[in-house]
Structure 1
Amino acid sequence: MAVENTTNIAGLDDTLPAGTDTKSEGDNHLRLLKTVLKHVFAGFPGEVLLAAAEAQGATVNDYVLTVAPAPTAYAANTAVVFRANHANTGAATLKVGSLAAKSLVNPEGTPLRANAITATTWVLAIYDGTSFRLMGGGNSQAIYDYANQLAFQAALPNQAGNDRKFLRTDGSNASWQDALPVYAPGNEPLTDIGDILVSGLGIKRFVYGLYTLSELPTKYRQGGKLTHTTNTVTAAAGCWRDVGDELDIVLATSMTKTLQTSGAWAAGDNANGIFTGVRANSTWYHLFVIRNDATGAVDLGFDTSVTAANRPAGWTAYRRLGAVFTTATGNIFSFVNFGRRFTYNSPASDLVNAGLGNLNQTAITVTVPVGIQTLALLIASVLPPSAATVSVGISSPGLVSTTSSLLATGGNASIAEVSRVTSTTRGIAIQANINTFASGLYIFTTGYEDFLDD
């Protein structure tokens, strides 16, 4: 009898044994088949493949398989294939016949996510000696999720020593970095390195060449110091929250505007600045920073209106920066600006050797911007008639001074620095303790503090 010499199925000859072979030699063929089977299914201590029918167990996450004949025990490396009748909603189990339920997990051993298996899909799982691992079929998204997760983990930079850091990318390379670089106020970078955290202030973003708070707080202002010539005003770079609390306005570099004697307002540095009309003598002009609705461009302009009512169409957002006064000759009344304070280079003489006619409060107009309230900075002096005692109270309009701002006796002068909140028409109030004195009262305005709408 001829017997094949092989250990695999392809080497078997289905024409053997021949019909003429003696039956007594059939045991050689049986031993050959056993040898081939053991080689082909090497490593399988039990069933190789179970093709089963599936039904839901106690919950939708329990898969119960029926197969005949039923296995008497689970064996490592056994594969099961079945058509699922329901979707899972989370971690799942798989049970074959009367055997105990085993966990049904992802290929790496983690619990299934919801809908890893959906109704009517074919599922392939392999028993690893402890649990069944989902190897194919089901919802292919589950396998994709796992593969994608592995690829992502492999692409991550080294995680050791980078606790509590964030992964940042420049579009080509990724690296671990602190959530945001931290800087002290005033030490912000001069170039854009991305968002930064400024101690005590918050997150700042690089906008129009300047680091500024990312969405500025209500009424926020920074920078914008004013300087001037005889007919121009320059505002330094700065940033502001607009008066409507809707937009940030950032002036990246200083800008100069002219109080023009002809022509109309024009956008840009060193251009005409008055929104409507031309420069008039002895007039207060408020300076505004404005932002273009369409382009976000930022510019400056002057207006006699405290609400920039005459600003060009299409420049909705604005914020007032200060005010300037033109003298009788048309030149700007000279000042120095520090924050909210405007100090005149030469005091304005608002009351010179004047008298008071009665005991009532008398309104006095001082040299401060019109249309807003300010804190007027004053020098007051009184020189009473000989042998007279004069007490003069200086107050804000509508308030009665309970203490003397000036007290002079026997022809001796009294002088004092006084600051008072004015009315929107530039007024303060003066009241004396005697019925009348003809002269000797002086009021000089040295500057003012502008509340700047805050």
Structure 2
Amino acid sequence: MAFLTVPADPGFPDVYQIEVLDRVKGGAGGTANLQAQQLAERTAFLKALADGLTAGKQPIDATLTALAAVVTAADKLIYSTGADTFATTSLTAFARTLLDDVDAATARATLGAAPLDSAPLTGMPTAPTAAPGTNTAQLANTAFVQAAIAALVASSPAALDTLNELAAALGNDANFAATMNNALAGKAPLAGSNGQAFSVASATQTQHAVSAGQVQSQALTAFTSSGAAPSFTLSPVPALTAYAAGQRFRVKFNGAGNGSDTLNASGLGAKSIKQYDSAGNKVAPVIVASQLADLEYDGVDFVILDPLPTAYCPIGHYSGLGLSTAGSSTTMTIAAGQAANSTGAALMTLASSISKTTAAWAVGTGVGGLDTGIIANSTWYYFYEIRRPDTGVVDVIFSLSSSVPTLPANYTQYRYIGAVPTNGSGQWVKFIQRGQEFWWDTPVLDFSGTTSTTASLLTCTVPRLPVKAFFDVYIASTGTYFSTPDIADVAPATSAAPLDSIGNSTSVNLGGQVECWTNASAQIRHRERSAGQNMYITTLGWYDPNIRP
């Protein structure tokens, strides 16, 4: 008989092994059931043993699992950081002495802390500084107390920063107010009785009281200037210590100005003198000798508040300003004169004649007058009187533009005064001017050809503006009609409108002087009654209505 090999277990026999020759026998104790019986006994034993181990024990869960994962060490305390999560923190020997204290009194004794009620403080304990004016049970530290004392003293001088010093200063008089009232009652009032005014001497310093006489005579504000244009000076009494906007003086000018005047008050530095124009712009002043003017400093300039009346400036006003040249010359002379600017806002006066060369513009006479670029050959140029409102300076400029020149800096006012061309060498062509009429010194032959019954345009030697051109015309054996291209073309006739401008109905050659308006391109239109006849047209000059629209 043999047995199956199993792990040794005290108290149990080895498991029987059925042999080949064993007869199969069932029932209790039978060979066929022996192994099952032995295994069942072992199973029952193990179950009873396992039940004994788990009896009264908590089943394993996430919390126990998390706790089991915590790594412990000496002087460490496990604490929860969340659901089923744990960590450790230091637990010092000092902390352990507090953990076994049964109440607060025992804990304070362990800590050596003073009681909250009437604690005896030692050393230099501190407390938060209360806000100024705090009136509560809050603890007041020395900083709060010092601030309160400083506020009470309020920067008083050292000799009056205690109650004792104040009392001494008041003569230790408990009735100081009554004493002072009684003393003041015996003093003379500033406004005397019986209408007697309080008298003051004439003020000579800025802190002095001013007398009525000084006010009436404006002795402190009315002064006569010194110096000469353009650098006037003023010496007010008392002297100014600094300029300030709003300072106002009544000034009698000792001499005439020149349009670029300044005033230096009390040696504080020269400030420009200005006055307002009708548009509210500060412009150059007009100052005459012995003029009385009310001046106010506006923080930048001395402004004349009561300027002299400006000259009447009718719109379109024009006088003088004639152009002249020797011909084949780079110099143009402009006569003295005056004209309203293009908007009629200002009267521009050229006090004396001025000459301008074909060089780039510069202010003054004998210098260039071209607004931009360089002078071109055989080209029309348009002359303008110009003015600088801030200084009142008037000059002349010429330009390729027949409407608006390129103005120099600060020059904003202009007026067209005429047009002249250059020759093939960039020099002025000679002419004479009579008012608004210009006549060539040498007439120009602008047409030499034959007549046509079809209208033709002829460019004349006149400005590129609508002007009235003057011609000498020679025509053979027919008639011609001149008209501006700005109106409808009409065929000429001998007995119906528009008739001939010049002509005849016979085989006779005819000559004469004709005038005709041009368009803005200096063109006229001519049309003849018959073709193939000789015709010549010479431009003599023109009338320029644009000078005085």
Query: So what's the TM-score if we normalise by structure 2?
Result: 0.42
**Larger Rg over CA atoms:** 2
Structure with higher strand content? 1
Of structures 1 and 2, the one scoring higher in RCO (CA 8 A, sep 6+) is 1
Query: So what's the TM-score if we normalise by structure 1?
Result: 0.50
